[in-house]
Amino acid sequence: MKGRIIGAGIAACLALATPCVSYYEGMVPRTYADPVGIPTICYGHTGGDVTAERTATDSECAALLNGDLRMAMQGVLQCVQIDLTPNQAAALVSFAYNVGVPALCRSTLARLANTGAAPEEWCAQLNRWTYATKFGQSIQLPGLVKRRAAETALCLGTST
């Protein structure tokens, strides 16, 4: 069984995920290195199309964000086989946007959700993902601590 969003659905999920991702990624319309050195542009967009000294317009950045969020949404619905509220789905979309769909699919979070654990248990797993590898060392990033706390609150429906 594939997961699905109950209630208002995908539109509501993306309406909740977009400001979260936009805030924590920030918008930089030119290529830059993220905190661990990955070439990035706009709202945290990475990939083969991110070339040195690339610049993008606001509308190009918005289109990249929209496309990346939709891909993250598809990944969430493939990896997480339970029904999700729009808040839960939005938190997982923000998470998958940041760490990648394969990481979500392999995570304890997805395993717990898929085996029927309570949302309080699997949503709390988001807070474990506050480290990144830079120069071969695992470092905790303050921005990820804040982002994961916000995603956890969104997942639990306790964000304001």
Return the active site residues.
Answer: 25, 34
**CA–CA gap between residue 1 and residue 6 (Å, rounded):** 14
| Amino acid type, 159 | S
| Distance separating the N- and C-terminal Cα atoms of the chain | 32
Contact between 24 and 147 under an 8 Å Cβ cutoff? The reply is yes
Contact 155, 127 (CB under 8 A): no
Q: What is the per-residue burial (b if ≥16 Cβ within 10 Å, else e) of 67-99?
A: ebbeebbebbbebbebebbbbbbbbbbbbbbbb
